[in-house]
Each structure stands twice: as C-alpha cells, then as structure tokens.
C-alpha cells in the first residue's frame, strides 16, 4: 500500500510538471491518466491528507474533477442535505406523485421502481464537423450572443479540448489564472452541440461566481441548473425548427430518465434517519444493494435538481434572470420560495413540456 502511494505521488508529480493546457496534444493524455489514477487510488489519496492538501493547493489543474472522493462527498454539501432533508423528501414526493403517471406512460412501465432499469435508444444521426459548427454558430448568433462571445473567447485562448476517448464532457478551471476551460467529447452528432451549449452554461456560471469558483464547482447543489436550462432552450430551438427532432427527443428522454431516477433516490435518501445519513458506509451499502455500484450522491442531487429546475426555467423564462442574480450555492428552501418555485409549478411546467414534445 505504501508503495502504491509512492508510485502515485511520483506519477502525479510528473503530470504536474508536464501539464500545460496550452499544449493541447499532450495535455489531454495527462488529464486522462490523472483522472484514471486518482479514481483508482482515491482511497489511498484520502488517507494521505497532508500530501493531498499539498497538491491540491499547489497545482493549477488538480482542482478539477480529479479528487473523486472529495467530490463524491463534500461534507458541507451533505450536511446541508441532511439539514433540509424534510424539504427534499416532501418536494420530491410531490413531484413524483404529480408526474408518475406520465413517466409510466412514456417509459411503458407499471411501477416507477423500474425506472432505473429503463433504457432509451441513443442512436444518433451523423453530422459532419463543418455542419455542426455552422449550426452552433447560427444558434448562438440568433439566440444567445453572450454564449457566442464566451465561445469565441475560449476558441481564441485554446481553452477547448476535444476528446474522443472519454464519453463525457466537462468544465473545470485553472486555479492560478482562475480561467475555466472545457473538455468536449466529440462523436459527430447533435450531442457535440448539446455538450458545447451545456458547458458554456457552466463557464458563464463560473464567471458569475468568480470569487468562489471552487465552491461553485465542488459544492453547489445548483451547479447543473443553468447549464440544463441552456440545454433545454437548445432542445426547444431545434424542435421548433424541425432539426434532428428524433435525436433531441431521445436526449431529452435520457435526461428525464436520469433526473427522475435521481428524484426517487433523493426521496429515499431524505427519508433515512439522520444518524444513518451521516454514515458514509451505510449509505453506500444502502444504495449499492438495489442500484448500480457506481452511485454517486453528489451527482444524483446536482443533476436531478439541475434538470428539474433547468427544464422548469425553460418554460418560465421570466424567472431565470432573478435566479441568476442570486448567488446560490447550497440548497436553501428560502431561495426556492423567494423564486416562487414549488413542486406544483414544476409539475405543471413538465406537463406542458411533455405535451409540446408529444411524449404524452
């Protein structure tokens, strides 16, 4: 075990020395290996707290989604969840009651417990790069000039990495320059465009939270709300213009499935006694027992609230401006009340959206 830690330290040191996000070709490999390494050794890293803090504070990009364990279980995030657990429980239970019938219909199931095992056909049409770029440019030009500016700034600064290795796109930042950058998974489909619009939503949020970027990325319950709102606006635009409609409906359904599987988990989680909720091992066992082994509470909460509220805002655009003016980090019942958001409004907005997409 000691050997493993030493091996990891020397590898991380090598990666730190060699990393530069300006050297595109090499950087991606480094990010990739570091991600693999740290998820592999997350247990060991967690025990080596001194070293862990040292590298966390000394290197520009180690702050990114590298420290899986830290991100999976940020303490203040989870304590906040426990503090609000009654609210989460009632809120989710109203949402599930209000939309359960529609969800059963959409995914052809009798019991909502089966939602977790449903799958959506994710076949997508091939679109070449040139076409995707002009589609993206047109979209920004006519609908989101601010996003266009951010996009151009990122392109000029070489702050967009393309990846065809990890099936995931994400945004992170360099803690020395405090500049965000993104990695986009490319598969020559409309998903490339969705990913770009989503990640630019994160960049905009990061600019907004400039003084507290670390908190925003690593702790905020609401970090997925604004990107999901942007994603939903793109869906509406493509559907209204009859562009790649089937692909978009599929993507929406995938999000719907993940979101509501998450809502059900949140409801269950919030129903647990606080004593058990504080026991990390208990929670892991509780959920690994009947769901997939890779269950991540932080992701479940942020993505579920993200899609839930992001979709809601796309149907209630007058509220997004007020929302973005507030500095939301941790979940707070008062924040939602101030916005006039309640479970009934959310259910109504979803019904509207589902009818618009001909899903019900």
For Zn ion, give the closer residue by CB, 12 or 213.
213
What is the nearest approach in angstroms of Zn ion to the Cβ of residue 224? 5
Strands (E), 60-137: none
For Zn ion, give the closer residue by CB, 115 or 197.
197
For Zn ion, give the closer residue by CB, 55 or 147.
147
For Zn ion, give the closer residue by CB, 55 or 63.
63
What is the nearest approach in angstroms of Zn ion to the Cβ of residue 200? 11
What is the nearest approach in angstroms of Zn ion to the Cβ of residue 305? 12
State both tokens at 196: 């770009």
Are 125 and 190 within 8 A, CB to CB? yes
- In what side-by-side order are the strands of the sheet with 170-174? 160-163, 179-185, 170-174
Closest CA to 69 of 43, 47, 94, 92: 43
For Zn ion, give the closer residue by CB, 65 or 88.
65
d(CA 315, CA 233): 9
Residue nearest Zn ion, CB atom distance: 227
For Zn ion, give the closer residue by CB, 227 or 262.
227
Give how far the C-alpha of residue 313 lies from the chain's centroid of Cα atoms, to the nearest Å: 16
What is the nearest approach in angstroms of Zn ion to the Cβ of residue 228? 7
d(CA 129, CA 86): 48
What is the nearest approach in angstroms of Zn ion to the Cβ of residue 202? 6
Beta-bridged to residue 171, according to DSSP, are 182
For Zn ion, give the closer residue by CB, 49 or 168.
168
What is the nearest approach in angstroms of Zn ion to the Cβ of residue 260? 18
What is the nearest approach in angstroms of Zn ion to the Cβ of residue 169? 8
What is the nearest approach in angstroms of Zn ion to the Cβ of residue 50? 32
For Zn ion, give the closer residue by CB, 25 or 294.
294
d(CA 76, CA 65): 18
Q: Is 111 helix (H, G, I), strand (E, B) or coil?
A: coil
b/e 318-339 (16+ beta carbons within 10 angstroms → b)? ebbeebbeeebbbbbeebbeeb
| Binding footprint of Zn ion on the chain (CB under 5 A) | 224, 227
d(CA 253, CA 360): 12
DSSP string, 184-204: EE--SSHHHHHHHHHHHHHHH
């Amino acid at each position: 075990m000691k050997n493993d830690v030493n091996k990891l330290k020397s590898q991380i040191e090598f990666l730190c020395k060699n990393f530069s996000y300006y050297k595109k070709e090499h950087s991606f490999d480094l990010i990739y290996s570091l991600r693999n390494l740290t998820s592999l050794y997350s247990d060991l890293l967690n025990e080596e707290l001194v070293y862990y803090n040292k590298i966390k504070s000394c290197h520009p990009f180690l702050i990114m989604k590298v420290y899986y364990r830290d991100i999976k279980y940020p303490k203040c995030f989870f304590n906040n969840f426990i503090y609000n657990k009654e609210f989460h429980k009632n809120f989710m239970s109203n949402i599930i009651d209000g939309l359960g019938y529609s969800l059963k219909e959409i995914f052809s199931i009798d019991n909502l417990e089966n939602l977790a095992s449903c799958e959506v056909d994710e076949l997508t049409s091939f679109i070449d790069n040139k076409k995707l770029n002009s589609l993206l440019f047109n979209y920004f030009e006519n609908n989101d000039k601010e996003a266009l500016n951010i996009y151009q700034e990122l392109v000029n600064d070489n702050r967009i990495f393309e990846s065809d290795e990890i099936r995931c796109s994400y945004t992170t930042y360099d803690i020395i320059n405090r500049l965000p950058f993104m990695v986009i998974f490319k598969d020559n489909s409309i998903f490339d465009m969705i990913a770009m619009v989503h990640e630019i939503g994160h960049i905009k949020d990061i600019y907004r939270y400039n003084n507290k970027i670390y908190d925003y990325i690593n702790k905020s319950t609401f970090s997925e709300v604004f990107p999901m709102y942007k994603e939903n606006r793109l869906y509406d635009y493509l559907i209204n213009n009859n562009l790649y409609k089937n692909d978009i409906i599929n993507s929406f359904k995938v999000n719907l499935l993940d979101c509501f599987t998450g809502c059900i988990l949140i409801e269950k989680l919030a129903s647990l006694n606080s004593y058990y909720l504080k026991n990390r091992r208990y929670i892991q066992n509780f959920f690994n027992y009947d769901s997939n082994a890779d269950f991540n509470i932080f992701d479940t909460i942020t993505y579920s609230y993200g899609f839930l509220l992001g979709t809601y805002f796309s149907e209630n655009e007058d509220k997004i401006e007020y929302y973005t003016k507030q500095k939301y980090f941790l979940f707070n019942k008062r924040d939602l009340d101030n916005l006039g958001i309640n479970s009934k409004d959310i259910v109504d907005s979803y019904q509207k959206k589902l009818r618009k997409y001909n899903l019900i």
